[in-house]
Amino acid sequence: MSFGRPGPAPCKVDEALRTEEFDYQLPQELIAQTPVEPRDAARMLVVERATGMLAHRHFRDLGSYLAPGDLLVLNESRVIPARLRARKVPSGGRVELLLLTRHDPRTWEALVGGRRARAGTRLRIEAPAGEEAGEVLEAEVVGETPAGGRLIRFSAPVDDLLDALGQVPLPPYIHVPLADRERYQTVYAKARGSVAAPTAGLHFTPQLLSSLAAQGVGFATVTLHIGLDTFRPVSEEHVEEHAIHREWCRIDAPAAEAIAGARARGGRIVAVGTTTVRVLETAAQAAIAQGADDPVIPFDGWTDLYIYPGYQFRAVDALVTNFHLPRSTLLMLVSAFAGRELILRAYHEAIRERYRFYSFGDAMLIR
């Protein structure tokens, strides 16, 4: 089950939102190439929706803005080493595979870099540079997708081989090799399946999580496996014309019950990351569709929920997020939550104050 366009808007919105309204200019030197240490030393811009006030803090100060009974909801998806090096058989031409979606243990949808790989092309997967090859893994291109990707059929199930053969795929705007690939994982990552990290969660440390728990803040986890389309700018002239990407997500019964309980006690639901927002709001729309009284219900499936200004939020009270690319669906989502004018003002303030942007960059707390 999946959900598409949002329901009725709570306020009047221009009939045709233009994509150019979500653009801004970012100096290249502000695109973070490496993560800060420790994780919670990142800066945090606090955005107050009611007053428009901005405050400059650090992520370790998050507890100052949370109260006992608030519930942090975390996306526990784990990034897989989805980038594989291969050679064509028998020509030996180099290609690179970026696995996107698992169809079955041996079949994946993937992007293929290099010379055109048509259906029937046979491949041999290579070990990463500097490492000895272990088990030989072969593959064949068995089809093409409407979006230009390829269906790859491997000679054996791939999941257990990725740690040995694959590399963590960093976003295209990061050009510095990652010394420790665990640094592109959240400290609570468990469910393997993403090809990009839920980056808002990268700022948490075990110590900070323990401190928040001792303060009386609750936790719930959901899963959304992130695809590469999360980085794709919207190219259509009008926002509504964009076809949002589908991603698999899950919220189980204990998480749904924790959210209902927190709401009943007057606590706020604080989503960590836009991916968590999409899970919660998908589950909220499922609750409405089924006539449930709870704010969200358990959900397991694909979501194509597209959130842009005019969307009525039903499950999220506050949001921890990073700074997003211009003209992206993620920038539109946070603009829906806080208002486009306030978000762009906050971004301009962050640029003026030399915040670090994107995946390894600094954080925002929108409340």
Is the pLDDT at 21 greater than 60, yes or no?
yes
Please state, for a pLDDT cut of 90, what percent of the chain lies above it: 81
List CB contacts of 43: < 8 A, sequence separation 6 or more: 56, 57, 58, 59, 355, 356, 362, 363
Q: Is the pLDDT of residue 135 over 90?
A: no
Average pLDDT for residues 264-270, to the nearest whole number?
A: 97
* Residue 145 pLDDT: 84
69 pLDDT exceeds 90? yes
Residue 9 has pLDDT above 50, yes or no: no
Question: What is the tens place of the pLDDT at every residue in 151-190?
Answer: 999 999 999 899 999 999 999 899 999 989 999 999 999 9
Where along the chain do its domains lie?
19-79+180-366, 83-165
Res. 231 pLDDT band, cuts 50 70 90: low
User: Residue 5: is its pLDDT beyond 50?
Assistant: no
pLDDT range class, residue 11, cuts 50, 70, 90: very low
Same fold, 19-79+180-366 and 83-165: no
> Chain-wide mean pLDDT for the chain?
91
Q: Quick one: pLDDT band at residue 232, thresholds 50, 70, 90? A: confident
- Fold of the CATH domain 83-165: Thrombin, subunit H (2.40.10)
Summarize the confidence of residues 255-265 as an average pLDDT. Answer: 97
Split at pLDDT 50, 70, 90, the class of 253 is very high
| Domain 19-79+180-366 class in CATH | alpha beta
Report the pLDDT averaged over residues 325-333: 96
Specify the pLDDT at position 233. Answer: 81
Its pTM stands at 0.91
- Between 1-10, 90-99, 283-292, 300-309, the lowest mean confidence (pLDDT) is in 1-10
